[in-house]
Structure 1
Amino acid sequence: MQIPTEKPEITAKNYLSVGPGEYPCGNNLYLIVTPSGGRRWAFRYQRNGIVRKMGFGSAKAAGLKPSEAKDRAIDALRLLAKGTDPRDQRDEERRREQGSRLFGEFAEEWRQTYETGLKHKAARNKLRRIVQVTCQPLHKLQLDQIETEHVSGVLRKVWHQREVSRDARQRIKKILDAAIALNLRPKHNPADWDSRLKPIMPKQRKRGTVRGSHKAMDYHDLPVFMQKLNADPDQSARALEVAILTLARTNEVQNMRWPQLDLEGGLWDLNTLDTKNERPKRTPMPRQTLAYLREAYQSRVSDEFVFPGRSLKQPISNMTMLIHLKEITGDETLTVHGFRTTFRTWAQEETDFEEEIVEHCLHHITGDDAEKAYKRGEALKKRRVVMQAFADFATRPPKNNVKSIRAA
């Protein structure tokens, strides 16, 4: 039977010669020797039931001597006796020595790194606005000075905008998490929701539980509206027509490009980077839309954008369609996105089309994640029938007894 040998006591004479292993030196101090010959001092302690470790530095000839390491261990034990975490104390001293940084410059550096992982231009623009505009009151503050009241002050200015305030808080938290990881501020994060902000921020109104939060036009009024829209010669009116009849999202029509269009086959091809759910999308276009696009292609002023802006190198503004909608209807609450709800209501109330195909026309792929993974078909023929029927309904001559435009 082999009797285990006790580890030798570490002294000033032998600490450089002992082999690999961990050697207790008293006062929670350990000498750690790696198989490769590396030597370092470590202080182990328990804080709130969690065992933690704090490095004191190298134990090689040019590093800390045993007596110096033991003195540091005793100092750390004294801090623990006072209720102070020695590691947090050390990090705080380092921050004082190095000096903190301003939130503004640190946040901008973080943004430039973080946005490289964002695929969509809209997401990058949103992040830039949060960092440069929404967080502007924090720019001149040092990272280690920012507390919960500073964060709540920023959020209260946009609290009436549920999604904006949520995104702003999440981004501020990520920025401060990065600062904590680099020892530029204390461990607590003042932008943490549950422990810091939730107890002091006012309750926000819940979003509506009914699908389609964007106010939509009553589908009965659509033919009257389309007739008025058709009489408007402006490019923005044409863009709005295309958005309504193709059921596309505003940014998809805004950035519509000629190379995406198959004007012979009647298809609009968007890749994953151009769609909201990052799935490829081929849209069958109704005859009315194709007629306009074929004519517009012959007189195009840009080889890239179907609806170019003033410089021709950029698309039209995302507000132009909305402005036209409000001018024609006089209703400030209607949205361009709401026409997708108008289509959905029309299909439900007036047709017997399959619900799955109707949802597919909106580029909503139904089912759980497993079902979506196997749904590779496009149902182009079925979708073409549905979308043509909707275009025929929307562009039919309005009935004489319909005089006003109502909101759904």
Structure 2
Amino acid sequence: MGVSLSAQRHREKMGFGSAKLTGLKLTEARDKAIDALRLLAKGVDPKEQRDDERRLAGGSRLFGEFAEEWRQSYEFGLKHKAARNKLKRIVQVVCKPLHKLHLDEVATEHVIAVLRKVWHQREISRDTRQRIKKILDAAIALNLRPKHNPADWDSRLKPIMPKQRKRGTVRGCHKAMDYQDLPKFMQSLAAATDQSARALEVAIFTLARTIEVQNMRWSQLDLDIGLWDLGTVDTKNERPKRTPLPRQALAFLRKAYNERVSDHFVFPGRRFSQPISNMTMLNYLKQISRDPTLTVHGFRTTFRTWAQEETDFEEEIIEHCLHHITGDEAEKAYKRGEALKKRRTVMQAFADFATRPPKDNVTTLKIAKS
């Protein structure tokens, strides 16, 4: 028994069950039909409402609610605030079209619709697919949806989604300054008195990542021997990191320590108990260079190119200066030495190059390894 559900362009039918199998009486069927027509009059699809009631009775949950609970649990294992913020944005913003679907409703076509909007962003689309898959894997483990996962790459998405553009073959994806332009830029930077300029100088001299300089603490610094001990805090590969401080960076840090306004952060923010914003150095770089495409991270590439083109230092030590530990996993497991003396020589040579007076039409001589 059923009722006809009319729409502008098509007609659908909704059944209330078999009279023989369910024992549904004619009067009961009429009452249900009247209830369905009343819902239609209110603009409510009675089939959708019936399905929602069945899912709720069966324990199915909305994707949005389940995903948010999963995020709050999963983010405890994420080390950096930036990673937690990225996860939050993916779950709450990128995956928003999935929020009102029940877990057992989510199909490959829904996942594809979400991915298409961010497919031009290689990393975001990859992270989004991986997070959706993990969320649905968790739902499968709790018997909240069928065992197949519509976000599985090989079996579901790969045959449908278009290929993404490969990364370029040029080292790094961050726009870098030509190393030959660095001395002139550093001269302009030295003339500035802003804390942002000093933070940027330290980042360039130490080859550190933005988050490492942003969260640099006095307790990490040994200003007598010129050493910055980060431990594993804020390091990308979670390996202990100790960085030699070139004379130029050390001179500023010793002076700044005597004039410090915070006992915690070397570069405090507006609240001395907090560090500067992670955008401070980038915004200042764009302002002083007048090149909106440059990035702070790009100075690591500037160093790498300088070392390759202008010096004969060992390749492995150059990579070690960037805290890149070369070799396969087995080799890395045995590489526990820090090569501090060799790295100090390389980094001091780079700092000397960066702070030399800018000269035009002068050929740079090769710097021999020591």
TM range (shorter): 0.7 to 0.9
TM-fit CA distance, 1:371: 1.7
Residue 162 (structure 1) aligns with: 122
Of 82, 86, 96, 1:136 maps to: 96
Residue 6 (structure 1) aligns with: none
TM-fit CA distance, 1:186: 2.2
Judge which range, 309-318 or 282-291, deviates more: 309-318
Residue 296 (structure 2) aligns with: 336
Unaligned runs of 5+ in 2: 1-52, 363-370
Of 160, 169, 174, 1:214 maps to: 174
What SS class does the counterpart of residue 119 from structure 1 fall into?
coil
1:105 and 1:97 map into 2 onto residues whose CA distance is 17
What aligned pairs does 1:9-408 form with structure 2 within 5 A after superposition? 97-400=57-360
TM-fit CA distance, 1:201: 2.2
Whether the aligned pair in 2 keeps the contact of 1:325 and 1:334 (CA below 8 Å) is yes
Whether the aligned pair in 2 keeps the contact of 1:101 and 1:142 (CA below 8 Å) is yes
Cα deviation per residue 1:50-69 (whole Å; 9 max; x = unaligned)?
Answer: xxxxxxxxxxxxxxxxxxxx
Give the number of aligned pairs.
Answer: 310
Whether the aligned pair in 2 keeps the contact of 1:173 and 1:189 (CA below 8 Å) is yes
TM-fit CA distance, 1:94: 9.2
Q: Return closer, same or farther for 1:136/1:308 CA change in 2, 3 Å cut-off.
A: farther
Residue 16 (structure 1) aligns with: none
Q: Percent identity?
A: 84
What SS class does the counterpart of residue 104 from structure 2 fall into?
helix
TM-fit CA distance, 1:400: 4.8
1:374 and 1:130 map into 2 onto residues whose CA distance is 37
2:162 and 2:330 map into 1 onto residues whose CA distance is 39
Whether the aligned pair in 2 keeps the contact of 1:120 and 1:273 (CA below 8 Å) is no
Cα deviation per residue 1:182-239 (whole Å; 9 max; x = unaligned)?
Answer: 1212222221112222233232110113322222111000001111112222211211
TM-fit CA distance, 1:175: 0.1
Residue 71 (structure 1) aligns with: none
Tell which structure's C-alpha radius of gyration is larger: 1
Q: Which amino acid aligns with 2:311?
A: T
Whether the aligned pair in 2 keeps the contact of 1:95 and 1:185 (CA below 8 Å) is no
Unaligned runs of 5+ in 1: 1-92, 403-408
Q: Return closer, same or farther for 1:158/1:232 CA change in 2, 3 Å cut-off.
A: farther
TM-fit CA distance, 1:95: 5.4
TM-fit CA distance, 1:115: 2.0
Q: Return closer, same or farther for 1:396/1:232 CA change in 2, 3 Å cut-off.
A: same
More helix per residue: 1 or 2? 2
RMSD: 1.9
Q: Which amino acid aligns with 2:96?
A: Q
Whether the aligned pair in 2 keeps the contact of 1:169 and 1:191 (CA below 8 Å) is yes
Whether the aligned pair in 2 keeps the contact of 1:95 and 1:183 (CA below 8 Å) is no
